């Protein structure tokens, strides 16, 4: 291995993350050791760190579930993976249970999430099961002008919305509405547009709306300037003007806020599909009968099954989903400052932390 293995661990809610050394040898014949190229900072990590959301693995624990890297060591049953560049699924199903065999791996009771069930990617090395890993073609990566660290965010920020779009049944010609245009929502806009939808983006941040208008949104609406009724009227007028259906809208709630969820619910129309992608602990009051009256449906989205990682990565490598305008790379050594900045809302882009050796990316 090219460096002394280490990880940055959480010891308690809000306590400074600490760097510790460890031995990353595989303990299971089906495990591999990934030398981490990059690990994205997700708001789920901040929920564990700042909000007291409990991890399933006891502390101390390295957080981080958006991981890309290279396999540098393997167990006996995973030797064919040695040397490969990979993206690690943010949620790793077991692959063997009844749920997995029936194509329902998202609810696999034995699933493992790095940074929650096991040590995560805010580290120089990560030990994970080999099954489900997504191989990265480094020649295609180079042609796309990307580094292996850049595609770390595919592991959640891009694949989770890919699953949501896939499960919604979206096809070319549909009208898609995305509430929350930053982070996961920004990738939802791009993926829906790549699949042929006309996309409306709703947010409260003018900067985000301006950015996403340049990356797939045909209409942007600021929720601070319009109430729910005005937003729906604006979407109806847009649909009429562009000869789009005023029924069967595909609504993606990505803000993870009570206000965003209320807006999403208010946009239900006949035959609509509401996909809940963002998460909040806040509660909202709604009339559930709207689903019946509109013959609509609501779908929850947890993670993304490993088999959908390759087509998501294809969209990135084909340039149909852009990463670089929405990410920035920072040294892993800056993790405490980065967490503080993300939590305070001081950063405009998703941070990918890169392990360092002697102050330089490994």
Residue 86 half-sphere exposure toward CB, CA atoms < 13 A: 28
User: CB of 201 within 8 A of CB of 234?
Assistant: no
Model confidence at 356, pLDDT cuts 50, 70, 90, reads confident
Beta bridge partners of 20: 7
Nearest CA-CA partner of 11 in 46, 63, 61, 64: 61
Return the percentage of the chain with pLDDT > 70, whole number.
98
Helix (H, G, I), strand (E, B) or coil at 179: strand
Model confidence at 357, pLDDT cuts 50, 70, 90, reads low
Within the chain, which residue ranges are assigned CATH 3.40.50.720?
A: 159-300
pLDDT in tens, 209-255: 999 999 999 999 999 999 999 999 999 999 999 999 999 999 999 99
Question: In whole angstroms, what is the distance from residue 270 CA to residue 128 CA?
Answer: 44
Q: Cis bond leading into 249, ω under 30°? A: no
Nearest CA-CA partner of 350 in 331, 316, 322, 325: 325
pLDDT in tens, 88-146: 999 999 999 999 999 999 999 999 999 999 999 999 999 999 999 999 999 999 999 99
Phi, psi (degrees; rounded to nearest 5) at 294: -95, 0
SS3 content of the chain, % helix, strand, coil (to 5): 30, 25, 45
The CATH fold assigned to 6-156+304-361 is Quinone Oxidoreductase; Chain A, domain 1 (3.90.180)
Please tell me whether the overall predicted TM-score, pTM, comes out greater than 0.85 for this model.
Answer: yes
Between the two ends of the chain, the Cα-to-Cα distance in Å is 11
pLDDT at 52: 87
Contacts of 268 (CB under 8 A, 6+ apart): 251, 274, 290, 291, 294, 296
Contacts of 203 (CB under 8 A, 6+ apart): 179, 180, 181, 182, 185, 209, 212, 220, 222, 223, 255
Helix (H, G, I), strand (E, B) or coil at 306: helix
Please tell me the CATH superfamily of domain 159-300, with its number: NAD(P)-binding Rossmann-like Domain (3.40.50.720)
Largest CA distance in the chain: 62
Within the chain, which residue ranges are assigned CATH 3.90.180.10?
A: 6-156+304-361
């Amino acid at each position: 291995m090219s460096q002394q293995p280490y990880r940055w661990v959480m010891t308690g809610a809000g306590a400074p993350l600490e760097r510790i050394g460890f031995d990353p040898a595989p303990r299971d014949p089906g495990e591999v050791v990934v030398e981490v190229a990059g690990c994205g900072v997700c708001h789920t990590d901040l929920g564990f760190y700042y909000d007291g959301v409990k991890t399933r693995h006891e502390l101390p624990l390295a957080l981080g579930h958006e991981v890309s890297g290279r396999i540098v060591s393997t167990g006996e049953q995973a030797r064919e993976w040695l040397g490969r560049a990979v993206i690690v699924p943010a949620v790793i199903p077991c692959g063997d249970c009844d749920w997995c065999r029936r194509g329902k791996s998202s609810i696999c009771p034995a699933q493992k999430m790095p940074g929650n069930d096991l040590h995560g990617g805010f580290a120089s090395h990560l030990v994970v099961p080999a099954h489900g890993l997504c191989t990265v073609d480094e020649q295609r990566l180079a042609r796309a002008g990307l580094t292996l660290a850049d595609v770390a965010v595919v592991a959640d920020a891009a694949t989770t919305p890919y699953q949501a779009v896939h499960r919604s049944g979206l096809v070319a010609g549909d009208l898609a509405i995305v509430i929350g245009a930053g982070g996961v929502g920004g990738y939802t806009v791009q993926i829906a547009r790549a699949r042929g939808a006309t996309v409306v983006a709703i947010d409260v941040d003018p900067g985000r709306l301006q950015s996403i208008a340049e990356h797939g949104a045909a209409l942007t609406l600021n929720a601070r300037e319009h109430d729910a009724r005005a937003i729906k009227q604006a979407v109806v007028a847009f649909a009429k003007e562009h000869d789009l259906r005023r029924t069967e809208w595909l609504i993606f709630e990505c803000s993870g806020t009570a206000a965003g969820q209320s807006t999403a619910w208010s946009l239900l129309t006949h035959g609509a599909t509401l996909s809940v992608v963002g998460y909040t602990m806040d509660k909202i009051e709604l009339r559930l009968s709207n689903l019946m009256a509109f013959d609509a449906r609501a779908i929850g989205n947890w993670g993304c099954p490993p088999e959908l990682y390759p087509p998501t990565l294809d969209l990135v490598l084909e340039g149909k989903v852009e990463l670089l305008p929405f990410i920035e790379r920072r040294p892993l050594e800056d993790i405490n400052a980065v967490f503080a900045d993300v939590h305070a809302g001081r950063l405009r882009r998703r941070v990918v932390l890169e392990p360092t050796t002697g102050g330089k990316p490994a």
